Amino acid sequence: MFPRGASGAVLPGRPPPAKKGCWMDSFVALLLNGLNSSALILIAALGMVIICGMMNVINLAHGELIMIGAYTAYSVTQVMGRSFFAALPAAFAVTAAAGAVIERLVVKKLAGRPAETMLATFGVSVVLQQMTNILFGAQSKYVAIPIAGKLAFGRVVVPYYNIFTVLLVAAVTAGTVWMLHRTKFGKRVRAITQNREMAECLG
């Protein structure tokens, strides 16, 4: 996502030649890059907010759950040869299963003991990292981009996939906020986080 036609060659001792609109193009490119990166961080932080902020559970293996989903998508697309859209439900299912196992075997048994929970989930994160290195190696893996094409804003080119990512994260965030504040399930979740004993008494 960079201005088209931009050149990085500058003669020694001379300032770069001024181009009309170059500063604005660079600003727009940086702004859109930052928006895309912020969307990826936001979707990861959203889970941390719910788990740590609302559920009061310190899960240091949260990032590794995201890693499991990513490697599941890689395995389905690159190893099994399936499409990206077939990999999405598989990634969600495997990640949910891994999270349920961690919750049942680690978090639930250490309920009410935040220090022990933090240490235990840190150990789980280390184990998952090492298992991933053994199975897939330390080299970076890539998944084919499912949405081709680009959109031009002046001389700035934005891939459609980046736009799709931002819109998807915005939709997921809005849906999560709506679920927590407008549905009975969300109200029950918030009630449990505020007073677990009273919520259990009320069913």
**pLDDT computed for residue 199 by the predictor:** 66
As a whole number of angstroms, the distance between CA 55 and CA 121 comes to: 15
In this structure, what DSSP letter does residue 164 have?
H
Q: What is the pLDDT of residue 22?
A: 75
CA-to-CA separations, 120 to 101, 102, 111, 199, in angstroms, rounded = 13, 10, 12, 27
Distances 203 to 70, 96, 112, 181, 199 between C-alpha atoms, Å:
37, 25, 20, 19, 6
Strands (E), the chain: 150-153, 156-159
One-letter amino acid identity for 146?
P
What is the torsional sign of CA 196, 197, 202, 203?
positive
The mean pLDDT value for 71-93 works out to 93
Q: What pLDDT digit, counting tens, does each position of 129-179 carry?
A: 999 999 999 898 988 877 888 888 778 888 898 888 899 999 999 999 999
The amino acid at residue 42 is L
* Span 52-72, average pLDDT: 89
pLDDT tens by residue, 110-131: 988 889 999 999 999 999 999 9
Question: In b/e form, how buried is each residue of 134-144, taking b as 16+ CB within 10 angstroms?
Answer: eeeeeeeeebe
Residue 11 has pLDDT above 50, yes or no: no
Residue 7: pLDDT band (50, 70, 90) is very low
Structural domain spans, the chain: 22-43+149-203, 57-144
